Amino acid sequence: MESPKKILITGGAGSCGSYWTTALLKKGYEIRVIDREVGPLRSMEGDKLALFQAGIEDKDAVKAAVEGVDAVLHLAWSFSGEPLEVFEHDLIGHIYLLEEMVAQKVKHLIYTSTAVVYGKPQYSPLDEKHPLVVEEARKPLYGIAKAAAEKLCLMYWSQNDLPATVIRFWWAYGDDIAGKHLRQMLKIAAGGEPLEVPADSGGSFVHMADLYQGMELCLFNPGAFGQTFNFSTVYVTWEEVARMVREVTGSLCEVRCIPKDQWEGSAFLADPWELDDTRARELLGYSPMGASEAKDALKTAISNRWEAMKTSSERA
């Protein structure tokens, strides 16, 4: 009988990482997690789950975590706005991980990137061939570093025979949803002030279950080696989001859709962040949940975020 495959998840205690950790454990995999804070997973630690509390810039910890694994799902990222920290922690740690995977002959790397690498939409929907205009991203440092990390993965595939797959998404949600702009909208609606959103714009949200499905379709799949895939569930306009926000807060506030040429808020909100996931559907058989179900789930996630805010300092 074949022994269970071993998988390392970097950043496995985060929202996405925790979901993947739980789902893969249920599938019978042996999981290792390396993260700076593994507290959220302590109650699950046991024969099938080993935890390494460290950042990926810790070369010795990375070596120990990678030893003997069959695949690595790389989610860890500091999200720092300081260039030196990003390069000294995220990118150097990324290279430590790649080098150790080559040395250990790991069978597959799935690197979780972001739609931020597209920078600013040049056309819509955005497919994987869209140029990476990272210097125009809403967070240029983040976009530049994530794009560099992507290129390193694909370079190690072509030059060091390390099978690698890059996946991109815009905004993930599950039972809950994070995001500064969303929290601000909830506060404004609760205060009864008008909710202003850019007209004719929005983004491709991806449900955690669909993102996991996409990752699993890639995992150990030779057809995914050296490939980059967009994953999305449903495109939702900011007007739709605003109406969900108004409903979950019980507000009677007005929703105002501002024409793009008059919009004075955050520029990235006015861009059409619709991702084209045709490649994933055709090459992998990716099949996300239906639009109606996905929007209902998004509304529930926003409601859960609001309930959490009401009992925490986030509302302040």
Q: Vertex 167, ends 164 and 168: CA angle to 5°?
A: 150
pLDDT for residue 281 is more than 60? yes
In the numeric block, the tokens 């789902």 are attached to 23
CATH architecture of 6-171+206-230: 3-Layer(aba) Sandwich (3.40)
Residue 170, Ramachandran bin (φ over 0: left; ψ between -120 and 50: alpha; else beta): alpha
Every domain of the chain and the residues it spans: 6-171+206-230, 176-203+234-272+290-315
pLDDT for residue 301 is more than 70? yes
pLDDT digit string, tens, across residues 160-190:
999 999 999 999 999 999 999 999 999 999 9
pLDDT for residue 314 is more than 90? no
CATH architecture of 176-203+234-272+290-315: Alpha-Beta Complex (3.90)
Q: Is residue 49 within a helix (H) or strand (E), and if so which, with residue range?
A: strand 49-53
Q: What number is the average pLDDT over the span 234-254?
A: 97
Question: Residue 3 has what pLDDT?
Answer: 67
Residue environment code for 184-217, b if the CB has 16+ CB neighbours within 10 A, otherwise e: ebbbbbbeeeebbbbbebbbbbbbbbbbbbbbbb
pLDDT for residue 245 is more than 90? yes
Q: Give the amino acid at 127.
A: D
pLDDT for residue 2 is more than 90? no
Question: Residue 311 has what pLDDT?
Answer: 87
Question: Residue 312 has what pLDDT?
Answer: 80
**pLDDT category of residue 316 using cuts at 50, 70 and 90:** very low
pLDDT digit string, tens, across residues 189-202:
999 999 999 999 99
Question: Residue 186 has what pLDDT?
Answer: 97
Q: What number is the average pLDDT over the span 132-152?
A: 96
167/214 Cα distance (integer angstroms): 9
- The mean predicted confidence, pLDDT, of the chain is 95
Dihedral (C-alpha) 87, 93, 96, 101: value to the nearest 10 degrees? -130
177/110 Cα distance (integer angstroms): 23
pLDDT digit string, tens, across residues 203-216:
999 999 999 999 99
Question: Residue 53 has what pLDDT?
Answer: 97
30/2 Cα distance (integer angstroms): 13
pLDDT digit string, tens, across residues 35-94:
999 999 999 888 899 999 999 999 999 999 999 999 999 999 999 999 999 999 999 999
Question: Residue 137 has what pLDDT?
Answer: 93
**pLDDT category of residue 1 using cuts at 50, 70 and 90:** very low
